[in-house]
Amino acid sequence: MPAAVASRWQDRRRRVFQSVFQTDLSPPTPQAVPLPSANLSFSQGLQYHSGTGPTVTSGSFYDEDTQDTTQPAFFNPPDQGLLVSHTPSNSFHSTVTAGSQPSQLFFAAPDTGTGDQAAYDNAWRLVTARITLPSSVTSPTLAGSLPPDAALPSNAEFCDALAHIVHASTLLPGAIRTDDVFAWHTHQVRAHFSQHVIPLLSGCLDTGSTGDGDPERKGSDQERAKNSHYERHMVIVMSSIRTLEAALRLYSHGFDLLVKGITHAESAAAFGTPAVNVEVLANHFRRDIHALVGNSISQQLTKSLRIVLVRLVGNVLGIPSEDDDGARNLKSRRPAPPTDDDFKALAARQRLHELVEQLHNVGLAGERFQVLFAEVMDWMMSAFVCGAYAGVWSATDRRSLSSVLNTVSRGTGSSVTSPCIISLMDWVENHFARLSFEVLSRISHASVSPVTLSDLKTYQSLALSRLSTLRIAELFDIVLAWPDSRGALDDLRATITTSARRLQLTSHFTQALKTRLLHPGCSTLEILQTYIDIIHTFHALDHSKVLLGHVEPSLKLYLWQREDAVRIVVTGLLASPDEVRAARKVKEISKQQAEQKKAGKRPEASTRRGANKGPVVTPTTTGRSSRTPNATRQRDGLDESSSKAHGATPIKSRASGTGKLVELALLLNDPTKTRHTLVEDEELDWNDMNWVPDPVDAGANYKRPKSEDVIGTLISALGSEDVFIKEFASIVAERLLSLSDPARFDQELRVLDLLKRRFGEAALQNCDVMIKDIEDSRRLDVAIRRAWDEQRRLTAATPVMMSGHFLRSADKRKKAALQRQQQQEPTQYHARILSRLFWPALDREHFLLPDPIIEEQKRYEQGYEHLKSNRKLTWLNQLGTVRVELELRDRTVTIDCTTPQATVIYAFNDSDDDDDIEIDNNASKPPGARRTVDELYTTLQMDEDLITSCLEYWVSKKVLRRLRSPSSPQGGSYTYVVIESLSDPIVDEEDHPTKDDDDPFGNHPTSTTSPQEAGQAAEGPEEESNKPAIDPKELERRTMYWQYIKGMLTNASASMPLAQMAMMMKMLIADGFPWTNEELGEFLAEKIAEGEMEVVSGGKYRLVKK
Amino acid sequence: MGDIQNSAPTLGARKNVDPGQNAVKRLQTELMQLMTSPAPGVSAFPSADGNLLSWRATIEGPEDTPYAGLTFKLSFEFPTNYPYAPPTVLFRTPIYHPNVDFSGRICLDILKDKWTAAYNTQTVLLSLQSLLGEPNNASPLNGEAAELWDKDPTLFKTKVMDRHKDIDDD
C-alpha cells in the first residue's frame, strides 16, 4: 500500500479515536440501565473528564510496557504499522476515571440497608471496578494491555468479593438489592459495543469511502485503481475484524476474570451453595456477543466483504475478475479451473481460509455472511459458465478446453460425453464444491459435513442449467455457425431435459429470429440459408422435429411475404454442377481464411460469424468471378437478388457466392441424404437401439419423421404446393428455353422426380410435357431439316447470322421455338415446339425479323405443317437465341445473344445487305453505320425500351458507341454508331473519321487490326443497362386487377367503397392481392383520371357509363 | 373460348377435399379466367356480400337480335358440389324471351340434365347470350313469345322493349 494512503488513513483513524475517547460509560450500578447513558453528549463527557481525570489512576491496568507480551501472533499482519496507533495514554486514564466514578457516587449515597447490604455493595464495587470496560478498545496498545494477573486471579480480595456477590443469598442474606454480575457485564458489553465499537467500525469503513471520493485517485491509472480498489476493501475488512477482535478480547477478559474468580473462590472455600455452571454461562455469553456482532454488520462492510470474497473466490475458482492484473486482456481470457500448482490460486485459497476463520472468530460469519457467500458463489458459477463456454462450440476449441481435465467426473451418473459438460462437472466437483466445503466447514458448528454428495448433485444440476441457459441464448449464433457448432448442440441436447426448458428454447429462439432475421434488412436468400441451417441444427438437436415445428411458424409466415422465396428455392435446386463446385470452392477458401484469421487472433466470444464464414468481402469477390460463366443465363431477377445478398449484414457474407441456394443442389446430389430408410414403420423396429419415446411436447398426431429432409421441409414451408409447382414450371420453362445443351436436363429431371414424390405425378404433368416437348422438337427438327435439305439448293449468299425464334401455332395448340445456327454457309435454323397448354403463359413480343430469317421461318413452318397436319406454328420471336458473328474492320466478334439483340444489330447492316452500297442512308455521312432509336423503331416495330436495352447491350460489347445526336430535338436521344476499329479515337459526332467500311456484318474484306484490341473487346465488362422499364408482369397484373374491378362494379354492385373493393379483391384472387388500400386508391385515381371511373356520394367508386 | 373448354377438366380432376371448399377454389379459378381472358358481352362476379357461391352476371344483348343494346342482369347460385351439379341461373332483369318465364327462370338443357363439369360460368353465359339470338322454340316457357318470334318480329321487339327494365343494385 502506498505510504500516502497509509498516512491519510492513520490520520482519519486518529480523529475517530479522539471522538470516541470523550464519551463516557454507563455507571456500573446494579440499577444501571445501559441505554440512558448513551444519551450523554460528548461535550458533557469532555467537561467531566477535564475536572476529575487526573485524580484517580490505576496504572497497573494500563501499563503500556506490557503491550507486546500478550498479543497473539495472528494479530500481526504485514501491514500492522498502519493499524498501530500510539495514542496518548492519558486518554486511558481518563476513561478509567469515568468508569470508577459512579461507584464513588454509589458510596456516597446514604445506605439504609443492613451490614450485609453494605458488604454486598462493597463487593459489588470491587468487582465491577475490576471488570469495568475501558471506553476504548481501538488501539493495539489497549488490546495488548491485558492485566498480567488475568490468567491467575490471585487477588484474594477480588475473589472474596466475587464470591460474595455470586453467593449473596447465602453469604449475605441481609443484602436486599442484589444483582447478577454476569448480566451486568453483558449489559456493559452491549453498551460499550454500541457506543464505542460501532463508531469505530464505521470509522474503518470511512477509509474506504474516502478512497472513492478522492478525485486524484479517479484520474490515476485505471488498473492500479482497480487493484487498490480490492486492497482498500481488504483493509476495511481486516481493520473491522481487528477492531472486533480487540473488543471481543476485552469483553472476554472481563468475563474470564469473573469466571476464574468464581472457580478460584469455589475451589478455595467450600460454600454449601451449588456451583455456578460456568460452561453454560460461557456459551450464553458467546452467543450474546456473536449475535451482537453479527447484527452489527453495516451495508458498507457487507459491500467490502463481498468485493474481497469475489476476488478471493474468483482466484480460487479460476475466474478472472475485473480487478485482476490482466484486466486489460480480460476479453481474451477465459475462466479455467486453476491447476494444482497455480501459485495465485493457492495463495488466494490460503488467504480465504484465514479470512473465514477470522470472521468466524469475531462472530461475523453468521447468517448474513452465509447469504453473502452463497450469493458470491452463485455469481461465480454464472461467471464461470458464461465465461468459459460462451462461444465455445467447435470441437477444436473444446478439445483444448477439455485437455485441462485430469480427473474423470465421478458421480454425475449421466452418460454425457460433451467435453463442455464434463469439464464443467469437473470444475463443480473439484473446485466449486470443494471450496464451499472448505468455507462452510470453517464456519459451521455442526459436526456433520456441510456439503454432502446430494449438495454436489444440486450444484452440478445448477451448473448445467446455467449452461443450458447460455446455450439457449446463443442458439441463433450456433445456427449461423453450423456445422462447426455441433459441439454446442451436444451441450444443449444434454441439458434440455424438461419441457419447460424446451419451451424456453423455442420461445427464445423465435424471439431471436424475429429480431435478427425476419426483417426487411435480410434478403430472402439469407433467410432461406439460415432456414437450412436451422433445419440442420434442430435436427441435430432433436431428431423428432418437434422443436423445429415450434420454431418454424413465424419463419414460415414471414417467408410467405417474400415473393421471391419460391423462385430462389427452385433455382437453388436446379443449380448446375458447375455452380455447386464453385460454391464449394468459395466455401473452402473462406474457411481457410477464417482459420488463418483465427490463428492470428482469436475471435471474441461475442462475434457472430466465427468459424467458417470469413469476412464479408471474400465471398463477394470470389463469387463474382466464379459466376461469370453462367452470368448470361441468369440475367433475370436472380442477379439482383444475389447482388443484394452481398451487400449489407454479416450474415450475407455466407451467401455462397453464386447468389443461389446451391446448398439445396448439394443436398439433392448427396447420395447419403437422398437414400431413404427402408424401415417403413419405425415403431415396429424392435432392433432399433436408438429408439427414444416421442417428446413430451409432441402434438397428438405426431409422426416421427424419418430423416432430416431439408428440401422437403423447405418446400413445405413455402406455402401451398400450387404456388410452388407454378413457380417451378415457369423456371423450368425458362431454363428449357435457354439451354442449348440437352444434357443439362439431368438436374431438372432429378428435381422433377423429387417433386413428383412429394406432390404426385399429376401435379407435375405440365413439367413432364415441357421436357418432352423439348426432346420431341429436337427429333422433329431433325426430321424437318432432312426433308428440307433434300429439296433445297444451297444458296451461298445467306447472311452470316443465326437466329432463333419461337413459334406459336395459330390454332393455339402448339408453341414452337426455332433456333437457327450457322455452320458455314447456310444459316442453321432450329425450333423448339412447345405445347402451349402446358407451358406457362409466354408473351409474344412483336417486332420485325430480318428478312432472311423470316424466309427460314416460313420454310420451317411449311415443313412442320407437312409433318403434322392441322397444326400451325405461332412464332415467339423474342425467346430465341442467336449466335452472331460480326466482322468489323479490325476484328470479328462472335456472340450468343437474344433474338431482339441480334435483330437490332442486324439493322445496322441493312443498307449494305441488299444492294452493296457501302454508305449509310445518308450518303453524306460516310463513317460507321449509325442509327437512332427512332429509326430503329420505325424499321423494326420493336418496343422502344427493348430497342434501347438491346443497343446498350451492344454498347457494352464495344460494338456500338453511343453519341449524343445534335440533330435530335430532344436532348436525351442518342445516335448509335458501329465501332469499326477499336483503335479509333473516341470522337465527337462532328469530326468523325471517315470510314468506308460500315458494314458490321462484314461482307467486305476486313482491314487489319491488332489482335490485342480485339481481345480487349471480347472481354469488355459485362454491364447490363439498368434502364428502368415497366415490369411486364406488373403491367399484366394491373390489367387483371382492372378486369376484376370492372367485373365487380358491373355485376356485384354498381358502386362500392374502396375498402370493400380491396377486401373483395383479397378474398377473390387466388394468388393473393398484395396491394394496400392506398395502392388500390392510387390505381383507382389513375382510372378516374383516364375517365373510366368516377366517385359518387359517400366515397364510392363506380364505372362511368358509356 | 377454346382454352377454357380445354383446361376445365384438369381443374375438375383435382383431388377432393371438402366439397364446399373445392367449389370455392374452382370458382376462384373460374373468376381468374374470366378476368384474364374476358369474353365480349358477358361478365360475372361474386356478389358484394363476399359469398363466392353466389354470383351476379351481366349479358349484353347481341347485335342483330331484338335484344341488341340491352343489358341483362343474372344471378348464379352455385351448389356446394359444383361443378358436379349445375348452378341455378335466373334472369334478374325482366326479359321477354321464349325460354325464360316471367320470374326469370330459364329453360336451357345445359343448366339441367345436359350439365357436365366441363362447363363453367363463362360457357353458360355465352350459351345464354346465344340463346337470346336463337331461342329454342320447341320447348317454350313463354308460348306467346315463341309464337311471336316467328310470326311478328316487330311486335316481339316491342314486347321486349316493354318488358325490359334496367334494375339497379345497391
Indicate the residue of B31, B43, B57 with minimum beta-carbon distance to A1068.
B31
Report the distance separating Cα A1094 and Cα A1085, nearest Å.
9
In chain A, which residues have their Cβ closer than 8 Å to the Cβ of B7? Answer: 837
Indicate the residue of B2, B56, B168 with minimum beta-carbon distance to A1052.
B56
| Identity of the residue numbered A781 | D
Report the distance separating Cα A901 and Cα A947, nearest Å.
8
With CB atoms and an 8 Å threshold, state whether A762 touches B13.
Answer: yes
A562: pLDDT strictly greater than 60: yes
Residue A544 near residue A698, CB atoms below 8 Å: yes
CA distance B73 to chain A (A): 8
Q: Which long-range contacts (CB under 8 A, 24 or more apart) does A624-629 make?
A: A626/A582, A626/A583, A626/A585, A626/A586, A626/A657, A626/A658, A627/A579, A627/A582, A627/A657, A627/A658, A627/A659, A628/A1022, A629/A578
A1044 in contact with B at a CB cutoff of 8 Å? Answer: yes
**What does the pLDDT average to over A633-646?**
36
A768 in contact with B at a CB cutoff of 8 Å? Answer: no
The string of pLDDT tens digits covering residues A14-55 is 666 655 554 444 444 444 334 433 333 343 433 434 333 333
**What does the pLDDT average to over B122-145?**
88
DSSP output for A11-35: HHHHHHHHHHHT-------TT--HH
Q: Which three cell numbers stand for residue A1097?
A: 356520394
Confidence of residue B89 (pLDDT cuts 50, 70, 90): very high
Report the distance separating Cα A579 and Cα A564, nearest Å.
20
A908: pLDDT strictly greater than 50: yes
With CB atoms and an 8 Å threshold, state whether A1050 touches B58.
Answer: yes
In chain A, which residues have their Cβ closer than 8 Å to the Cβ of B50? Answer: 1063-1064, 1067
pLDDT number for residue A739? 62
Confidence of residue B76 (pLDDT cuts 50, 70, 90): very high
Residue B37 near residue B123, CB atoms below 8 Å: no
In this prediction, the answer to ipTM > 0.90 reads no
Task: Please indicate whether residue A101 or residue B162 has the higher confidence score (pLDDT).
Answer: B162
In chain B, which residues have their Cβ closer than 8 Å to the Cβ of A1040? Answer: 32, 35-36
With CB atoms and an 8 Å threshold, state whether A1044 touches B35.
Answer: yes
pLDDT number for residue A818? 36
Report the distance separating Cα B45 and Cα B30, nearest Å.
10
CA distance B143 to chain A (A): 30
A937 in contact with B at a CB cutoff of 8 Å? Answer: no
The string of pLDDT tens digits covering residues A193-246 is 887 777 777 777 665 444 444 444 444 455 455 566 777 788 888 888 888 888
Q: Which three cell numbers stand for residue A744?
A: 443439362
Residues in chain B: 170
In chain B, which residues have their Cβ closer than 8 Å to the Cβ of A1067? Answer: 50, 52
Q: Which three cell numbers stand for residue A143?
A: 488490546
Q: In the predicted model, what is the mean pLDDT of chain A?
A: 65
Alpha helix (H) residue ranges in A1069-1101? 1077-1089
B59: pLDDT strictly greater than 70: yes
In chain B, which residues have their Cβ closer than 8 Å to the Cβ of A1066? Answer: none
Q: 3-state secondary structure string, A335-354?
A: CCCCCCCCHHHHHHHHHHHH
A729 in contact with B at a CB cutoff of 8 Å? Answer: no
With CB atoms and an 8 Å threshold, state whether B58 touches A1067.
Answer: no
Residue A901 near residue A1015, CB atoms below 8 Å: no
The string of pLDDT tens digits covering residues A339-363 is 666 777 788 888 888 888 888 877 7
A383: pLDDT strictly greater than 80: yes
The string of pLDDT tens digits covering residues A384-416 is 888 877 777 665 555 444 444 444 444 444 444
CA-closest candidate to residue B54, choices B39, B37, B74? B74
3-class SS of residue B60: strand
Report the distance separating Cα A580 and Cα A586, nearest Å.
10
CA distance B65 to chain A (A): 21
φ/ψ (deg, to 5) at A781: -55, -45
Indicate the residue of B29, B38, B168 with minimum beta-carbon distance to A1043.
B38
- Please tell me whether the peptide bond between A619 and the residue prior to it is cis, using omega within 30 degrees of 0: no
Portion of chain A with pLDDT greater than 70, in percent: 55
Longest CA–CA span in chain A (Å) reads 162
pLDDT number for residue A1050? 84
The string of pLDDT tens digits covering residues A287-328 is 888 787 877 777 778 888 888 888 888 877 777 765 444 444
Indicate the residue of A762, A1051, A1055 with minimum beta-carbon distance to B45.
A1051
Task: Give the mutation candidate from B5, B27, B169 for the A interface (greatest A CB count, under 10 A).
Answer: B169
CA-closest candidate to residue A1043, choices A998, A984, A1103? A1103
**What does the pLDDT average to over B73-80?**
91
The C-alpha angle A702, A705, A708, rounded to 5 degrees, equals 140
With CB atoms and an 8 Å threshold, state whether A837 touches B35.
Answer: no
With CB atoms and an 8 Å threshold, state whether A1043 touches B35.
Answer: yes
In chain A, which residues have their Cβ closer than 8 Å to the Cβ of B36? Answer: 1040, 1043
With CB atoms and an 8 Å threshold, state whether A1068 touches B168.
Answer: no
**What does the pLDDT average to over A905-928?**
51
B38: pLDDT strictly greater than 80: yes
Report the distance separating Cα A942 and Cα A947, nearest Å.
7
pLDDT number for residue A904? 82
A932: pLDDT strictly greater than 60: yes
Task: Please indicate whether residue A753 or residue A1007 has the higher confidence score (pLDDT).
Answer: A753
pLDDT number for residue A820? 37
Query: Residues of B with catalytic annotation?
Result: 107
With CB atoms and an 8 Å threshold, state whether A1040 touches B46.
Answer: no
Q: Which three cell numbers stand for residue A70?
A: 500478550
With CB atoms and an 8 Å threshold, state whether A1040 touches B35.
Answer: yes
Report the distance separating Cα A95 and Cα A57, nearest Å.
10
Q: What is the CA radius of gyration of chain A?
A: 49
Residue A359, C-beta contacts closer than 8 angstroms, at least 6 positions apart: A241, A365, A369, A443
With CB atoms and an 8 Å threshold, state whether B7 touches A1047.
Answer: no
Residue A500: is it exposed, middle or buried by C-beta count within 10 angstroms (0-12/13-18/19+)?
exposed
The string of pLDDT tens digits covering residues A604-622 is 433 333 333 333 333 333 3
The string of pLDDT tens digits covering residues A424-459 is 888 888 888 888 888 888 777 666 666 778 888 888
Task: Give the mutation candidate from A839, A1038, A1043 for the B interface (greatest B CB count, under 10 A).
Answer: A1043
The string of pLDDT tens digits covering residues A961-974 is 777 655 545 555 67
Task: Please indicate whether residue B66 or residue A672 has the higher confidence score (pLDDT).
Answer: B66
Report the distance separating Cα A729 and Cα A769, nearest Å.
10
CA distance B43 to chain A (A): 6
Q: 3-state secondary structure string, A788-854?
A: HHHHCCCCCCCCCECCEEEEECCCCCEEEEEEECCCCCCCCEEEEEEEHHHCCCCCCCCCCCCHHHH
Residue pairs between chains A and B whose CB atoms are closer than 8 Å: 71
With CB atoms and an 8 Å threshold, state whether A1069 touches B32.
Answer: yes
With CB atoms and an 8 Å threshold, state whether B170 touches A1055.
Answer: yes
Which positions 737-766 of A are in contact with B (Cβ < 8 Å)?
762
Q: Which residue has the cell 473519321?
A: A993
Euclidean distance between the first and the last CA atom of chain A, given in angstroms as a whole number: 101
CA distance A687 to chain B (A): 38
Report the distance separating Cα A831 and Cα A857, nearest Å.
9
**For A966-1026, where are the E strands, in sequence order?**
974-978
Handedness of CA A276, A280, A283, A286 (dihedral sign): negative
Q: Which residue has the cell 470496560?
A: A133
Task: Give the mutation candidate from A1068, A1069, A1073, A1106 for the B interface (greatest B CB count, under 10 A).
Answer: A1068
pLDDT number for residue A88? 41
In chain B, which residues touch A (CB < 8 A)?
2-3, 6-7, 13, 25, 28-29, 31-32, 34-36, 38, 43-48, 50, 52, 55-58, 73, 168-170
Distances (CA, A) of A117 to A129, A168, A530: 18, 9, 96
Q: How many helices (H) and strands (E) does chain A have?
A: 44, 12
